[in-house]
Structure 1
Amino acid sequence: MTLDEAAKDYENWVKRMRERYGDFKYLAVRSFQQRGTLHFHLLADLPAIPRTELVDGTFRDIWGLGSVELKRIYSLPMEERRNKLKLDLIKNLRDFKTDERSYGKRLFLQSKNLIVPETVKGNFYELMEKWRSEGYVPKLMDSRQFPVEYLRYVQLETYHLKK
């Protein structure tokens, strides 16, 4: 199965889920299993699914293309550096990106109704000065270095702005 075929299967699954359970937001990351098949990791705010449908396989059968594992998450402190879910998603993104089969494909899939945080790029010192002059107090949430070709690394920092 190609990535395009898998993407179509995934889109059809989202449609079937929305028909049965209503609207929901999601972020999905793809990865290749050792045997080469595509695998989806999904973070979603699914509405309440009746327990009977979890037990009798109705929920699993909506996917219809293999096994489904569902885990309930109540609280997600994503700003914590050692958050297992965040680290797993990042690992899958990296693995997917480095696989030649993913060339030219989007790294992740997301619902159109997902609220996406604003990304600001620019000169670090100018941005900090601008935010402080506007009354914001930048709080460092995460800092990472990623090795890159030609440069030694790229530094990625995530800040939360509070007034």
Structure 2
Amino acid sequence: MQHEITHAIPLLDERGNLTEPGWARRLLPVYDRARVKGGPTGCREWDDYLVMGPGFALALTIADHFYLGLDSISLLDFREGWQMTRCPRRPFPMGRTGLPETSERGNAAVSGRGYGILFHNDGLNRTLTAHMDAFREGAALDAHIVLRDEPEESMVLSVPFDRPG
């Protein structure tokens, strides 16, 4: 059974360890990048969204694992029974992706050969924009989604990863 975090806490202690591994229904663990220890391999940051509608789902991810950037666009068509994921990689972003410390404010953006993903947060709405050339069967994918009402619950994970060495 996984542990539910039910109150606001710092995500990391002064030594860079998780204060309370588990999950939360809201953004209760407070992330402070200055508390990350362990050099470039000590931090994995990402921002991702899953948007579902009748018969489909779109998942967008911007990730900076310091030694590797993993950006992802996935489209699932439940009616026709197919899914497609494209996951371009960026070598050694080393934290330069510029992800905000909280999803409550700030923007995230990446681009590379034939693709771009932007998460824009103006304080009222979140706008998710994505483009990828030759996404499926040679056709490009373009998405522009405005999220106006934040759900009462979201999934916040606070999970330890083994550090190398």
- Work out whether the TM-score is over 0.5: no
Per the normalisation by structure 2, the TM-score is 0.26
More strand by share: 2
Per the normalisation by structure 1, the TM-score is 0.26
Larger radius of gyration: 1
